[in-house]
Structure 1
Amino acid sequence: MTRELHIVGGGMAGSEAAWQAAELGVPVVLHEMRPEVGTFAHRTGHLAEMVCSNSFRSDDDEQNAVGLLHWEMRAAGSLIMEMADRHRLPAGGALAVDRDPFAEGVTARLRAHPNVRVVPGEITGLPTEGSWIVATGPLTSGALAAAIAAETGQDSLAFFDAIAPIVYAETIDMSVAWEQSRYDKGETEEERKAYINCPMTKDEYEAFIDALLAADKTEFKPGETAGYFDGCLPIEVMAERGRETLRHGPMKPVGLTNPHDPGRKPWAVVQLRRDNKLGTLYNIVGFQTKMKYGAQTDVFRMIPGLREASFARLGGIHRNTFINSPTLLDGQMRLRSRPNIRFAGQVTGVEGYVESAAMGLLAGRLAAAELLGRSLAPVPPTTAMGALVHHITGGAEARTFQPMNVNFGLFPPLDEARGGRRGRRERYKGYTDRAKTDWQGWLGAAARHAA
């Protein structure tokens, strides 16, 4: 009888790892501490609950590395991507999902799988026996984080993640705001109107920046160093870097025309993206924050169109723990000091829902193959999946290791035949064409080995 695979953490990575291993015929025990032990960010006990954003980012599999990762995961039978596609919301060229039905769908599929057993409760230490995957994500419990730090013999690495507020749609003033995706991106009318836009004049923008800078903010504990992941910077931190930073970042006014005043170009624009299928909730795009709650309502109601806004959730900040994977993990994602334990997801130093789920997919397949007595060839580094795992298990500089989204800079260079010396569009198409061929080859070889 095949030994069980134990997975700690039922987020994106743990859920995907459980699904992949179970589909390969391995019995899986999925340990999830929620709802018995909660976190500041989670609201439910559902698996794969989304807490920061509801977006999987770009779905373009020819010109974008994360879109390519979507493609590779779909080709591998990803549960996370299946549920994302089933519960997707209009978001222009991005893949945004209706977060509650998405999590409910993942939970239902895993609980119904004959090879999966979901066990509630907190795991507080690193097991010495059995096959395990630790996929606890950025909100690893204090006890388990301490056990990991004790085993690795290093100080825990950490940075801070912030989440954005969510607004009730009925409280947005549509006599001021309007619906439009940037550059009218999207194939349908619904997608071309997937975002709500709130325009600002120069004076309104300057007053908003002043308020951001002056607002009360969450203070860090003594001894904590506030390092941030650049993809999730609080807006007030961006404002501190220069008064024009937000206007050239999440508040850039390009690609948008205000139908209420088409002859005047806004100085800045705040965008809101639909957060659920009903269209009753919208999150403020790029507005992660560490402002205190009272300050948030005051500052955000300065935004034209949000003067009377009511918030379903305010923003917040939390500590995100990850390990120095290049020094601690081998090419099979196993902890070098305890090869019976693999790590997956954000705790390995990848950043983003998709990247986390992708590393769960790979860890689940690697662990299942090992338990079934099979061997898998290394994932080609020319694929999005391979580029990520190569980065975290040895490709990155350990001394300066920081969380990383998937990007074409992680891929081996192209030869001239594939567009290596051509323009960006041809070069990116060369990366994706090569990756798709190599990923299909790897999946095919794995399937033949299993037959």
Structure 2
Amino acid sequence: MTQQITVIGGGLAGCEAAWQIASRGVKVKLYEMKPNAYSEAHHLPGLSELVCSNSLRGDSLENAVGLLKEELRRLGSLFMEAAEATKVPAGGALAVDRSLFSEYITKKIEQHPLIEVVREEVTEIPSEGIVVVASGPLTSGALAEKIGELAGEYLYFYDAIAPIVAADSIDLSKAFRASRYGKGDGDDYLNCPMDKEQYERFVEEILKAEKVERKSFEKVVHFEGCMPIEEMASRGVETLRFGPMKPVGLVDPRVGVEAHAVIQLRQENREATMYNLVGFQTKLTWPEQKRVFSTIPGLEQAQFLRLGSMHRNTFINAPRLMLATCQLKSDPRVFFAGQITGVEGYVESASSGFLAGVNAARLAKGEELTVPPPETAIGALAQHITNAEADHFQPMNVNYGLFPPLPGKKIKKKEKRGILAQRGLEALEKWQPELKKDRAE
């Protein structure tokens, strides 16, 4: 038996890394601080808790995240196995029941004979042996300091969580069921329409509402892909109408036209008893959230099961510190995985954990490490975070702009994405046999 690998963090990346390591016949000791200690954003005792949303985003190959999910499916990802087993209706997106998702992964991890789960907080990075640091964007203070010492520098930005309301408290005489452009079953979302006057008054209330004050020593840097609604509203009265409140593709069947603006509610669990306010991440104080969001047509009597909140996300400067194999340049026995590397999003975090787990297992077995082809989504993301401009590095979702360009003449966007997706899957198939060899049967 090869040496045991330590994985720090039982989130998406840590669990995926642990699963891939164990699947290759190497023992794993997986550390997770819950339920003994919780971050400000976590609440469930299980592993792989989804925090700010239950959506894993679009499933179509027209979107790079759809390609990334398809690649992970083909590669034997535990994350994707759990997502498929616990999915809920979400139009053209893949969304899951968060509790069932966490329970599924927790059971699989705890039952694997080569994985030992240790429920305690890690405050030091082991000085010997192979280590995968997947402590997440909410890394606790003591460990964050040690990471800072080891890595030499780390950055941070602020992320926000959207509210959840009880389904039976939504006024269905005002909210209508529809998916944008009729995708999915056509009625996977609830939509709260606003006319021009209602919308402008709503924006005004958001702007004057009380916000949570930051600490004096903290510099707020928001990630563009998860911008608080009040930050968007401050950029102009029309900004929200071109963002999360975009009415395009949502026709109210009762009147036959699009509203001026729409708030979409997405099913949060399989029983459809909870709905998430799509794109409504916020740092408004909780009393102000109740006051302002209760002015939304259909939510006047809404019961808020979870209110939005703000938290600091820690990530390292991966272009300066990491190799594309997920190893730390200054100490190659240490791997980093997940959002702490600067990938943004659930799927991207799992993808990072997959690659770190594969390479950690290979290192333990004395095998050559591997880097995915840059034509694949998993490879394009890995290449980006380790080759981006270090002085202005910010977290990044996977997107087709990260992929190597297509040769030849200019191609229409939709056609181009299809070609990129096909090229990526072909590159994956050539890389995949290399991975299958080292999996334990």
TM-score by length of 2: 0.98
Aligned positions, number: 440
Contact conserved, 1:4 with 1:29, CA < 8 A, in 2? yes
State the partner residue of 1:272: 265
Tell me if structure 1 keeps the 8 A contact 2:25–2:439.
Answer: no
The alpha carbon displacement at 1:449 in A equals: 6.3
Q: Hey, what does 1:123 align to over in structure 2?
A: 122
1:398 aligns with 390
CA-to-aligned-CA distance 1:397-447 (integer Å, 9 cap, x gap):
00110000001111111123xxx6221122111111111011111111233
Q: Does 1:408 align with 2:400?
A: yes
Asked if the contact 1:69/1:384 (under 8 Å) is kept, the reply is yes
Q: What's 1:381 paired with? A: 374
Cα offset for 1:450? 6.6
Return the alpha-carbon distance in structure 1 between the equivalents of residues 410 and 253 of structure 2. 42
Q: Letter of the aligned partner of 2:157 in structure 1? A: F
- The residue number in structure 2 matching 1:252 is 246
Q: Deviations over 1:68-96 (max 9, x none)?
A: 00011001100110110111111111000
Q: Secondary structure at the match of 1:288?
A: coil
Amino acid at match of 2:238: E
The question of whether the paired residues in 2 share the 8 Å contact of 1:60 and 1:68 is answered with: yes
Show the counterpart of 2:36.
36
What is the alpha-carbon distance in structure 2 between the residues aligned to residue 414 and residue 260 of structure 1?
45
Contact 1:374 1:450 (C-alpha < 8 Å) held by counterparts: no
Give 1:10-409 correspondences, 5 Å limit.
Answer: 10-61=10-61, 63-154=62-153, 156-186=154-184, 191-262=185-256, 264-393=257-386, 395-409=387-401
Give the CA deviation at 1:448: 3.9
Q: What's the RMSD between the two structures over aligned residues?
A: 1.2
Q: CA-to-partner distance for each residue in 1:283-333, whole Å, 9 max, x for gaps?
A: 000000000000000000000000000011000000000000111112321
What one-letter code is carried by the residue in structure 2 that aligns with 1:194? D
Say if 1:372 and 1:250 are closer, same or farther in 2 by CA, change over 3 A: same
- Bigger mean CA offset, 299-308 vs 366-375: 366-375
**More displaced 10-residue stretch of structure 1: 292-301 or 367-376:** 367-376
Q: Is the 8 A contact 1:128 1:338 kept in 2?
A: no
Q: Closer, same or farther in 2 for the Cα pair 1:250/1:146, shift >3 Å?
A: same
3-state DSSP class of the match of 2:385? helix
One-letter amino acid of the counterpart of residue 110, structure 2 = R
Residue 428 of structure 2 corresponds to which residue in structure 1?
Answer: 439
Percent identity between the aligned chains? 52
Unpaired runs of at least 5, structure 2:
none
Tell me the distance in 1 between the aligned counterparts of 2:114 and 2:225.
Answer: 37
SS in structure 2 opposite 1:30?
A: strand
Distance in 1 (CA, whole Å) between partners of 2:419 and 2:5 is: 38
Using the alignment, how far apart are the partners of 1:300 and 1:27 within structure 2? 49
Structure 1 counterpart of 2:337, one-letter code:
A
Is there any run of 5+ residues in structure 1 with no aligned partner, and where? none
Opposite residue 408 of structure 1, the aligned amino acid is: Y
Relative to 1, partners in 2 of residues 1:265 and 1:435: Cα closer, same or farther, differing over 3 Å?
closer
Output one character per residue of 1:18-68: Cα deviation in whole Å (capped at 9) or x when no partner: 11111111111110001101111111210001110000101112x110000
Indicate conservation of the 8 Å contact 1:169/1:280, yes or no. yes
Task: Note if contact 1:239-1:245 (Cα within 8 Å) is conserved in structure 2.
Answer: yes
Deviations 1:199-219 (A, max 9, x none): 001111111011100001011
Q: Deviations over 1:216-235 (max 9, x none)?
A: 10111113211100110000
Aligned partners of 2:172 and 2:437: how far apart in 1? 56
Letter matched to residue 306 of structure 1: L
Distance 2:380 2:192 in 1: 38
Query: Which deviates more from structure 2 when the two are superposed, residues 359-368 or residues 425-434?
Result: 425-434
Q: Indicate conservation of the 8 Å contact 2:13/2:349, yes or no.
A: yes
Q: Is the 8 A contact 1:128 1:340 kept in 2?
A: no
Q: Which amino acid aligns with 1:39?
A: S
- Which amino acid in structure 1 is aligned with residue 158 of structure 2? F
Q: Distance in 2 between matches of 1:377 and 1:218?
A: 45
Between the aligned partners of 1:216 and 1:297, the Cα distance in structure 2 is: 12
- Cα distance in 2 for residues equivalent to 1:153 and 1:428: 38
**Paired residue type of 1:442:** W
Greater shift, 217-226 or 399-408, is seen at: 217-226
SS at the partner of 2:69?
Answer: helix
Structure-2 separation of matches of 1:138 and 1:209: 30
Q: Distance in 2 between matches of 1:297 and 1:282?
A: 15
TM-score by length of 1: 0.96
